[in-house]
Amino acid sequence: MESQRLMGAGETRSMRIALFSGNYNYTLDGANKSLNRLVDHLQSSRGAKVRVYSPTSQTPAFAPVGDLVSVPSVKVPFRSDYRVALGLPAHIRRDIEAFAPDLIHLSAPDFLGSAALKFGRRLNVPVVASLHTLFDSYLDYYGLGFMRPLARRQLWKFYGECDYVMPPTEAIAEELRTEAPSTRVRTWARRVDPALFHPGRRDSSWRLKQGFDPDRPVIVFLGRIVMEKGLEAFADTIAQLKAAGHAPQVLVIGDGPARAWFETRMPEAVFTGFLSGETLASALASGDIFFNPSTTETFGNVNLEAMACGLAMVCADAPNTRALLRDGKDALLCAHDQRTSYADALAALLVDTRERRRLAAEALDRSAAYRWTNILDEVFEVYAEALDRHAARTPTWRAPSLARSRRGGYVEPQPNGLPVL
C-alpha cells in the first residue's frame, strides 16, 4: 500500500506533508497550538517531513515547530492583529513543487487554503483539511450577520472539495456529512497536557499579589480578547452580578485588540496580559470558576485546560461545549440568548461552595478522558488512509519526483524573526 511505502517496514523515504495555515505562530490561539503540536509529533514520532506555509510577523507570538515558509500577506481590515494571504505567488508554488509533498493539509478555508487546494489537484496528491473554526459565526460580531448563510455555503463548498475533513466534534462531523457528502469525515478531537494543566498549579501567594480576597471565589476569562469570544456577554454578566449585590472578583488572562474596551467595562478586574506555559497554568489554576460565554469555537481548548486545572465551569450552551461538558453534571451550560442565565448560574456558585467544588471535581475527572497520547496518531492514520485511497483510485499515481520537481529551489525557511511580506 502507498502509505506503507512512505512509513514503517521497507520504507523508501519519509512521508512529506505540506501544511497550510492562516496563522501558524504570529498570534497565539488554540488552533495554532494544536497544529504546532501535530507537526512536532509527525516529525519526532513518525519521521515525517513537514513544511508549513503561512503568513508571518516580525514579532511572532512563539517560535514555530518545523520549517515555516512566509507567504505574502496583508493585514485584515479592522483587525490588524491578523493577516491574510491572498493566494500562492509563483515563488511559493515553485517551493511547494520542490518540496514534492505526498499530501497537502489545509487548516483554514481562506484564500491561501483555496489556492493550495487547487494546487494540490494540479500536483495530483490527496488533500486533507482540519476544521478549527466556523468563521461564519464571527460575522455577527462585526455587523455582518446577514452574510452568514452565504459564508456557510462557501465553507461547505470548500470542505466538500477536499478528500478528507477532520472536524473536532461529532456534531460538526454530522453537519459536514450532510452538507458536504462527497468528502470523507474523520473526527479529530483536541486534548490537554495533564503535566502542565492540573490543580496542583494553584498558587495562593500569587492570588494575594493580584489583590484577590482569599476567601472569595475568582471568576476567570481565558483567551484572545476579541469581541467574537463573547466579551459583551461576559462584561454584561459581571455588571448584573454587581447590580444584584455581589462583588465578583474577575481575572482576565490573555490579550487582544479589544482589551481596552474590556478594561473599560470591568475596571475592577485583574488583567494579566498574555501568559504561556507554567505561568499560564498557574494563573488559571489559581481561579475558581471558569466563565466562557463564547459560541464561536468548534471545540474550545480553553475549556479543557480550565477543566484540567479543577475549575467549576459556566459556559454557553453551544455544540462545542455540549460535546465536551454535561449540563448539571460537570458544568452549568446557559442559553446564550438569555443573558440573565449566566448571572444566575454564577451567582449560585459564588455563594454555594459545596456545589462549586462538586462541579470542579466532576470537570477535572471529565478532563482525564482527553489526553494527547493517541489523538495525534489518529491524524497520521487519516493521512495514510487518504494516501492509500488516492493510490487505489489512480493506479498510475506516484509521489511527485523529487529530482524532477526541485528545479528552482526552496524558499529558505527562517524559524524566528520571519519577514512580514
Read off the pLDDT of residues 237-265 as tens digits, 9 standing for 90 and up. 999 999 999 999 999 999 999 999 999 99
How far is Cα 246 from Cα 33, in angstroms, rounded to an integer?
Answer: 36
Which residue is listed with cell 509533498?
101
pLDDT top residue among 209 and 370:
209
pLDDT category of residue 81 using cuts at 50, 70 and 90: confident
> Averaged over 165-184, what is the pLDDT?
87
Sorted by sequence, the CB contacts under 8 Å of residue 186 that are 6+ apart come out as 164, 165, 166, 173, 378, 382, 385
Cell numbers given for 286: 489559581
pLDDT top residue among 416 and 307:
307
Which residue is listed with cell 463548498?
157
Residues 66, 43: contact at Cβ < 8 Å?
yes
Closest CA to 315 of 15, 305, 300: 300
Closest CA to 200 of 279, 310, 274: 310
Residues 42, 7: contact at Cβ < 8 Å?
no
- Taking CA atoms, 294 is separated from 136, 224, 276, 319, 390, in Å, by 14, 11, 21, 11, 39
How far is Cα 135 from Cα 155, in angstroms, rounded to an integer?
Answer: 8
Q: Decide if pLDDT at 10 tops 50.
A: no
Digit-coded pLDDT (tens) for 279-304: 999 999 999 999 999 987 766 789 99
> Averaged over 24-28, what is the pLDDT?
88
> Averaged over 43-55, what is the pLDDT?
95
Cell numbers given for 293: 460565554
How far is Cα 296 from Cα 291, in angstroms, rounded to an integer?
Answer: 15
pLDDT top residue among 5 and 270:
270
Sorted by sequence, the CB contacts under 8 Å of residue 116 that are 6+ apart come out as 18, 20, 53, 88, 104, 106, 127
Q: Decide if pLDDT at 414 tops 90.
A: no
The predicted structure's pLDDT at residue 398 = 52
The predicted structure's pLDDT at residue 5 = 58
User: With the C-alpha atoms ordered 75, 150, 323, 326, is the resulting torsion angle positive or negative?
Assistant: positive
Give the chain as a 3 state SS string.
Answer: CHHHHCCCCCCCCCCEEEEECCCCCCCCCHHHHHHHHHHHHHHHCCCCEEEEEECCCCCCCCCCCCEEEECCEEEECCEEEEEEECCCCHHHHHHHHHHCCCEEEECCCCHHHHHHHHHHHHHCCCEEEECCECHHHHHHHHCCHHHHHHHHHHHHHHHHCCCEEECCCHHHHHHHHHHCCCCEECCCCCCECCCCCCHHHCCHHHHHHCCCCCCCCEEEEECCCCHHHCHHHHHHHHHHHHHCCCCCEEEEEECCCCHHHHHHHCCCCEEEECCCHHHHHHHHHCCCEEEECCCCECCCHHHHHHHHCCCEEEEECCHHHHHHCCECCCEEEECCCCCHHHHHHHHHHHHCHHHHHHHHHHHHHHHCCCECCCHHHHHHHHHHHHHHHHHHHCCCCCCCCHHHHCCCCCCCCCCCCCCCC
How far is Cα 404 from Cα 421, in angstroms, rounded to an integer?
Answer: 29
Q: Decide if pLDDT at 9 tops 50.
A: no
How far is Cα 58 from Cα 365, in angstroms, rounded to an integer?
Answer: 41
The predicted structure's pLDDT at residue 402 = 38
> What is the percentage of the chain residues whose pLDDT exceeds 90?
60
Q: Decide if pLDDT at 8 tops 50.
A: no
The predicted structure's pLDDT at residue 189 = 78
